[in-house]
Structure 1
Amino acid sequence: MPNRLLVRGARQLLTLRGSGAPRRGAELGDLSIIENGAMLVENGRVTAVGPASRIENLTAARRAEELHVRGRVVMPGFIDSHTHLLYAAPRLDDFAMRISGRSYEEIAAAGGGIASTVRKVRRASQSTLRAQALRELWRMASCGTTTVEAKSGYALDAAGELRCLRVLASLEGEPLEILPTFLGAHAVPPEFEGRADAYIDYLIAEVMPAVAAKKL
């Protein structure tokens, strides 16, 4: 038997119906809203959307499990295409310096910026990073995000980058879909200061093959 779910009771149902091409100008405001809408999902795929009076009377809908959203808005989930999910701890000192008028270069020279996060991520255990990321993922989910791209790039050495990518792999589906990105060349780490080319060679020769071998 098909797995069916009828979502009913939506005050508004946003379909974003269109060509699928990027929207520009006035098109950004066209959400293709169905007032008093309903939606039928079968085996994980949306098979029908429209006014509740029509969707709820479909034969398949009458045999479906029901989810009554009680006048809420039903819409597609947000996709966040750029996140730095694993950072160990916020850069509160950086923020304080920024609001006092200091430039990013001045903050970096004072030990802040990416270098500050690299130090924190390198010290953090896998369980600590996972707990921090999970809190952020649930916050994202509560705001309607369903899919995130998530980068490594705050360890900048083989052991740390692999640890971060293992954390991201372990979080798939908890509660969001995660698309991990290896960002080993995010910055030049302190041990390679002034030797950017040597760091790129290290990434190519040692880190990237390890990431590929572990399918992370």
Structure 2
Amino acid sequence: MATIYRNIGELLTLQGAAEKKGRKTREADLGILPKAAMVVHRGVIVWLGPEKKLKTFKTKEFKSAKEIDMNGMTVLPGFVECHTHSLFAGSRAHEFELRQQGATYQEISKAGGGVLSTVQATRKASEVRLRKDLEQRIERFSAQGVTTVEVKSGYALNKTGEIKSLKVIRSLDQKPIQVVPTFLGAHSIPTEFSSAREYLASIESYLPEVKKWTDRLDIWIEKGFFETSFSRAYLQKAKELGFQIVIHADQLTLSGGTALATQVAAVSADHVIQISDIEIDQVAKSDMTAVLLPMADLYMKCAYPPARKLIDAGARVALATDFNPGTCPSQDLSLVGLLARLEMKMSLPEVIAAYTVGAASALKLEAQVGSLELGKDANFFGTAKDWNQLFYSAGDSSVDKIVFKGRNI
């Protein structure tokens, strides 16, 4: 049966932003429809527009449709959270204190902390424990209006554990929202291996099995870890197997990750803090999305990415939390957007587009989610507040109703 959502105060379709492929978003691109209605059938949008025109759409098929009064709410596309490390066990709260005392991320990692600390805890955790914890974290995202969330592996760093992680992530897809798994085997170098080259060769040997669980592959390009000189061949092999490539790029140092991402036609380069005008121009001319993670930069006391330069150059940007146990132990989307506005000088329309159209593009899901258009998934949320009150107050998600593929969450 179809469902008619009526009495929508303002419907932000993001159609204009989608047509511009998430580049140089203006307020006009939000596609704001006042006093609107939307019709959903079998999980997809079949009509939307001014409510006064709804009667012209009411064909025989939809005359018996269920009607839901949105009570004048503002309705937006469900947010797309495109970069998280949500599957893990253990805590790294002690590392936060070490960083406040002056220890660098590299120093903590060399002392056995960082990612490797979480690896030990995650390897010991049962599949049941990992699933339960991940389920709770996904629910926290969903409560903030997220209807699609990406989750990376990368805290097992061996074949058995990484495959187990991907299975757990896949098992929670559609429960209750869309969950997109990404393989991040090249997250750090486990103690069993003497070099990054040796470890990459090990990962490469089981990539065909990984492909059964995901078609997305990520790598952390950084000096002293996985460097461009020997990571390129690994990524080329992954592309030959049909993986979409994602790169953690130029976060701590200018390590060539963004340039490599453009060379291998990656779907996104994430972090991009240290990039110069050369890399900005490369991103702007590519079909790649620059994923910006300002909450991690806050925790790490890093500079923020050059968002203004990227956007003005014509690059497509996305925003995400980078939620992880070490360098960003927060799932607060409102703070991400607030930091984007305060520290990266992004306008509110740019922030909204980055968390919808831009983030959907980073996951290659822009034909399915990220905007409210005919034929796309009916993923949206309603808020009693005006849209210009979004990403204004930290800790306030302002979400009153969430719908995923036409189902109330």
Query: What TM-score do you get using the length of structure 2 for normalisation?
Result: 0.48
Specify the alignment match of 1:106 in structure 2: 107
Deviation of the 1:44 alpha carbon? 2.2
What amino acid does structure 2 have at the position aligned with 1:186?
H
Which residue, out of 14, 24, 31, partners 1:16? 14
Query: What TM-score do you get using the length of structure 1 for normalisation?
Result: 0.88
**Greater CA drift, 165-174 or 57-66:** 57-66
RMSD: 2.0
- Secondary structure in structure 2 of the residue aligned to 1:30: helix
What amino acid does structure 2 have at the position aligned with 1:190?
T
- Secondary structure in structure 2 of the residue aligned to 1:183: strand
1:118-137 equivalences in 2 (<5 Å): 118-137=119-138
- Secondary structure in structure 2 of the residue aligned to 1:10: strand
**8 A contact 1:126–1:167 mirrored in 2:** yes
Deviation of the 1:105 alpha carbon? 1.5
CA pair 81-105 structure 1, distance change in 2 beyond 3 A: same
What amino acid does structure 2 have at the position aligned with 1:9?
N
**8 A contact 1:4–1:64 mirrored in 2:** yes
1:81-120 equivalences in 2 (<5 Å): 81-120=82-121
Q: Distance in 1 between matches of 2:70 and 2:90?
A: 36
**8 A contact 1:147–1:177 mirrored in 2:** yes
What amino acid does structure 1 have at the position aligned with 2:203?
L
Which fold has the larger relative contact order, with Cα–Cα distance below 8 Å and residues 6 or more apart in sequence?
2
**Greater CA drift, 126-135 or 90-99:** 90-99
**8 A contact 2:12–2:31 mirrored in 1:** yes
Q: Distance in 1 between matches of 2:158 and 2:32?
A: 48
What amino acid does structure 2 have at the position aligned with 1:106?
E
**Greater CA drift, 127-136 or 16-25:** 16-25
Specify the alignment match of 1:4 in structure 2: 2
What amino acid does structure 2 have at the position aligned with 1:148?
V
Q: Distance in 2 between matches of 1:189 and 1:56?
A: 62
Q: Distance in 2 between matches of 1:29 and 1:109?
A: 49
Deviation of the 1:57 alpha carbon? 5.9
Specify the alignment match of 2:166 in structure 1: 165
CA pair 116-27 structure 1, distance change in 2 beyond 3 A: same
**8 A contact 2:119–2:155 mirrored in 1:** yes
The aligned length equals 211
1:51-70 equivalences in 2 (<5 Å): 51-55=50-54, 58-60=57-59, 62-70=63-71
Q: Distance in 1 between matches of 2:25 and 2:184?
A: 36
Specify the alignment match of 2:197 in structure 1: 197
- Secondary structure in structure 2 of the residue aligned to 1:83: coil
| Structure 1 unaligned blocks of 5 or more | none
**8 A contact 2:85–2:153 mirrored in 1:** yes
**8 A contact 2:3–2:41 mirrored in 1:** yes
- Secondary structure in structure 1 of the residue aligned to 2:142: helix
| Bigger-Rg structure (1/2) | 1
What amino acid does structure 2 have at the position aligned with 1:196?
A
After the TM superposition, which parts of structure 1 deviate over 6 Å for at least 4 consecutive aligned residues? none
**8 A contact 2:170–2:213 mirrored in 1:** no
Specify the alignment match of 2:73 in structure 1: 72
What amino acid does structure 1 have at the position aligned with 2:134?
A
**8 A contact 1:81–1:149 mirrored in 2:** yes
Q: Deviations over 1:12-51 (max 9, x none)?
A: 1111122523334452673121122111112322122122
**Greater CA drift, 5-14 or 55-64:** 55-64
Q: Deviations over 1:167-193 (max 9, x none)?
A: 01111111111121111111111111x
Q: Distance in 1 between matches of 2:9 and 2:99?
A: 43
- Secondary structure in structure 2 of the residue aligned to 1:102: coil
**8 A contact 1:38–1:56 mirrored in 2:** no
Q: Distance in 2 between matches of 1:54 and 1:161?
A: 52
CA pair 30-152 structure 1, distance change in 2 beyond 3 A: same
Deviation of the 1:116 alpha carbon? 1.1
- Secondary structure in structure 1 of the residue aligned to 2:154: coil
